[in-house]
Structure 1
Amino acid sequence: MVKSLLRSDLTSLYPILTYGGAIPFVMGAVCLALDIRSVPFLGATVDVVGAYGLVIASFLSGTHWQLHLNQNAGLSLFLALSSNVMAISLWTVFLALAPEAFFLALSFIFLIFLAIDHRLVISGLIDKHYFKTRAGVTGIVVLSLIFLGLIV
């Protein structure tokens, strides 16, 4: 009984945390729309959002790596390669591009992660409800990043 209650609490927590993860992207877009170029105690708004985006995208790459580690066949090789290519690409564009170009590239990277997750849900490796949550949050994040990329 305790295990099922704990599991229920955890499954109801992930949508809250997932949607909560979009808040810094939305707030970054709002800040720049209001010409707030610096966030107290954190620094330049574009740097804060860029670093946060880098962390979140790296986290998503890590979740795909973890799924690879738990697979013996099927998508294991794809997940191993794609998670590494995504992580390296992500860091390369972060280091090489101006903030506006990075935000646009990051929005594309988040869409690629969503496409990979779509493949994972079709294969039964991730839950449909989780994917629907990810799709909604990805939409919010991508729109925020495109907006940021256009107004920086």
Structure 2
Amino acid sequence: MVPKGVGAAGARASERKPLSNSSTSKEIVARLFTYGGVLPFLFPLCYRLFTGSSTLLAVDVQNLLMAYSAVIVAFIAGIHWGVFLFRQCSLNLFLHSNIVALLSWLSLLSTLLWGVVILLFCFLYLLWIDTVLVRQQLLEPWFYRLRVRASALALLSLVSYAVIAL
């Protein structure tokens, strides 16, 4: 659980500079990369569904899915690190993002079931932190909506793959 103070350290929401709501090239690029980044979640699931095989060119697609998921969790945790560094935030945001990144690594050392459970927790926990950050105006609302959609697709892919594989 994120303790009090994950977001702003001492600054009231009314005292912080409001975030921009305008659509920019940054927003378009973020959308393209985010939705493009969802494809590697879908590929192992679709491959397993349509071929019945778990290997492609001697590579286990389950390992691809789990490793990619862990990388994305660490990437999102890194975004939180950036928010901590460049906005007025509590040290808790920094600590929690590091703990979640390490948990994603632990998922790679686990069985499929436990690895998926760990990754689901990580994605949901990071999304909850994003909810806190957007309410405190430390994260752009458009980015939060993008994260919700991409996380839903990632979570659905992980759960579906686990159901098919187990």
TM class by smaller structure: 0.7 to 0.9
Structure 1 match to 2:112: 99
Q: Which of 61, 64, 81 does residue 48 from structure 1 map onto?
A: 64
- Please give the TM-score of this superposition, normalised by the length of structure 2: 0.79
The secondary structure found in structure 2 opposite 1:102 is: helix
Please give the alpha-carbon distance, in whole angstroms, between the structure 1 residues aligned to 2:162 and 2:114: 6
Gaps of 5+ in 1: 1-6
1:1-150 matches, within 5 Å, as: 8-34=24-50, 35-40=52-57, 43-72=59-88, 75-95=89-109, 97-150=110-163
Q: CA deviation at 1:104?
A: 2.9
Q: CA deviation at 1:71?
A: 3.3
- The answer (yes or no) to whether the contact 2:103–2:118 under 8 Å persists in 1 is no
Structure 2 match to 1:4: none
Please give the alpha-carbon distance, in whole angstroms, between the structure 1 residues aligned to 2:74 and 2:102: 9
Structure 1 match to 2:19: none
Q: Which is bigger in relative contact order (C-alpha 8 A, separation at least 6)? A: 2
Deviations 1:21-43 (A, max 9, x none): 111111111112231312237x1
Indicate the structure with greater helix content.
1
- The answer (yes or no) to whether the contact 1:100–1:150 under 8 Å persists in 2 is no
Q: Please report the RMSD computed on the Cα atoms of aligned residues, expressed in angstroms.
A: 1.7
Q: CA deviation at 1:76?
A: 2.4
Q: CA deviation at 1:67?
A: 1.2
AA aligned to 1:119 is V
Q: CA deviation at 1:103?
A: 2.0
Aligned residues: 142
